[in-house]
Structure 1
Amino acid sequence: MQRKQPGLLQPDWEVPARVRAVSTTREGGVSQPPFDGFNLGLAGGDDPRAVMHNRRLLRGMLALPHEPRWLRQVHGIRVVEAARCHGETEADAAVAFDPGVVCVVMTADCLPVLFCDRNGTRVGAAHAGWRGLVAGVLEATVDALGCDPGEVMAWMGPCIGPAAFEVGDEVRAAFLEQDPGAHDAFTPSPAGRWLADLRGLARRRLSACGLGVIRATDDCTFSDDRRFYSYRRDGNTGRMASLIWLRD
């Protein structure tokens, strides 16, 4: 079994020292193909023993104060307070206000977005596929943080990039109906459809909320099969995790 040290991404944002945040890759871990190697998702058909081993490895590597509050994600807009979650609660975003409570979302092309306030008193994590994005999951998460949006910082993690995310007319129409200016995030594809900039669409929505700082990586999950899982590319595949929490 593969036992290489898992690869991690650190958000490039200036946050208070008590805020910890990280996004995982597929590198390392013990899961076997097609989930190789650091799969953290239980729902895709991987051996549960391998997934739980990877989760234990994650806790040890990051010295997590408690088990992350794993969610059962459904491409919706429900936001929960992580401290009140027991078991895998159905939601697509979580917020936390107390030290030691770890918010987490899992992705394999969808966009993970991590949040904190400038004073380091609250954090959140959201899972934003196009359905959740157009339905308002990011706005709901900002609202659940319960502070002035101008005090909120966001980091957008690895997701499918604008050269790979092909969508139909109905997806473009859903965004333009709410925000006509979103047409800049869509370009015609050779197949007669549209290539969508998921991070660009998310940035527009976060800016409209009034966020003070928005940062992002430009990593594309679809184009980098060595580092990232991609549902669009592979179908049956694993999941990365994006986590954020407050230290004491």
Structure 2
Amino acid sequence: MSLVRDDDTGLVLIEPDWPDCPANVRAYSSTRIGGVSLAPFGDADGTSGLNLADHVGDNINSVRMNRSCLSDFFPRDVTFLSQIHGTLAVDATDIREGSIVEADASFTNQPNVSCVVLTADCLPILLASTDGRCVAAVHAGWRGMAGGVIEATVQEMRRKGGREITAWLGPAIGANAFEVGIDVFDAFTQKMPQQRQNFKSQVRDGKYLADIYGLARTVLHSLAINRISGGEYCTFTELELFYSYRRDGLTGRMASWIWIE
């Protein structure tokens, strides 16, 4: 785990342990630590929470201050997507400041333009072409992933010239905590039978345990993306570091973002 701690502000970020990431590409993922939000949007102690979502019921001024805390870790101001668990990937270069864009992924081949997604159990996926010419961020909840958000984003990256692509899987709910129903099992396995390996059947009420990291890896492998890092966290069980919607219900959101220097 590569944690970045700012002693002055108390901010704690994750810098991806990503050996295949090009030298000119930067990326981070936030934790719940280091902001001004209070419970239920605080840190594990109920204070100093770094909630970055303005749609979950937190005080809007707290969200603005939290986003401002990250200004040194973005190349310039960013506009967060309005995520809808869909499959649309948009060009981050075309997003105007302050606009509302309904999408679940963004990509760019321009320097100093951040691609960013918000999560609290769903899987953030950061993508970079190995030549450093194109990057993307994907909000991969189960609905979006089953629907094809990863494929749609990779297709757009390849249109932008990103041929050989590497991926980093950010903090998401772990394989021993993500309980799902037959609808989720069917959504993946009917489209891609090899996804069966990423489900463990449960006796209770016909439920399954799903490995969201494994589901994403299987999709990425099908797209000839084999350089994959990350996937070692569990937002549900790592209370000190992460918000979790499944665990807490009313809670904040973390961000994962990437850009070309």
Q: Report TM bin, short chain.
A: over 0.9
- Equivalent pair of 1:151/1:212 in contact (CA under 8 Å): no
- Which one of 12, 15, 21 corresponds to residue 7 of structure 1? 12
Where structure 2 has 5 or more consecutive residues not aligned to the other structure, the ranges are 1-7, 43-48
Per-residue CA deviations over 1:134-164 (Å, capped at 9, x if unaligned) read 0000011100102577610010000001111
Partner Cα distance (1:194, 1:214) in 2: 25
Q: 1:85 to 1:155 in 2, by over 3 A?
A: same
SS at match of 2:255: strand
Q: 1:79 aligns with which of 67, 76, 89?
A: 89
Distance 1:189 1:46 in 2: 36
Q: How does 1:17-36 map to 2 (within 5 A)?
A: 17-36=23-42
Paired residues of 1:103 and 1:243 also in contact (CA < 8 A): yes
1:235 aligns with 2:245: no
Q: Runs in 1 of length 4+ with deviation above 6 angstroms?
A: none
How far is 1:239 from its partner? 0.3
Quote the offset at 1:48 in angstroms. 0.6
Contact 1:228–1:240, Cα closer than 8 Å, also in 2: yes
Q: CA deviation at 1:212?
A: 3.8
Question: Which amino acid letter does the alignment assign opposite residue 11 of structure 2?
Answer: P
Give % identity: 45
Residue 202 of structure 2 aligns to which amino acid in structure 1?
S
| Equivalent position of 1:187 in the other structure | 200
1:201-232 deviations in Å (ceiling 9; x for gaps): 01000000011411123110000111100001
TM-score (norm 2): 0.90
Q: TM-score, normalised by structure 1?
A: 0.94
1:216 equivalent in structure 2: 230
Structure 2 matches for 1:112-151, cutoff 5 A?
Answer: 112-146=124-158, 151=164
String of CA shifts for 1:73-105, please: whole Å, max 9, x gaps: 000000000011122311000001111101100
User: Match for residue 201 of structure 1?
Assistant: 215
Cα deviation, residue 10, structure 1 = 1.3
Letter paired with 1:94:
S
1:89-123 deviation line (CA, Å, top 9, x unaligned): 11000001111101100000000000011111110
TM-superposed deviation, 1:51: 0.5
Question: Does the 8 A contact of 1:158 with 1:221 survive in 2?
Answer: yes
- Alpha carbons 1:150, 1:210 under 8 Å: kept: no
Output aligned runs, 1:80-99, within 5 Å: 80-86=90-96, 87-99=99-111
Give the CA RMSD over aligned residues: 1.4
Give the deviation of 1:190 after TM superposition.
4.7
Residue-pair matches, total? 243
Query: What secondary structure does 1:30 align onto?
Result: strand
**Partner Cα distance (1:219, 1:4) in 2:** 24
Q: Distance in 1 between matches of 2:40 and 2:166?
A: 35
**Correspondent of 1:16 among 12, 17, 22:** 22
Aligned position for 2:121: 109
8 Å CA contact retained: 1:82, 1:101: yes
Q: Distance in 1 between matches of 2:226 and 2:234?
A: 25
Equivalent residue number for residue 226 of structure 1: 240
CA 1:84/1:33 → structure 2, altered by over 3 Å: closer, same or farther? Answer: same
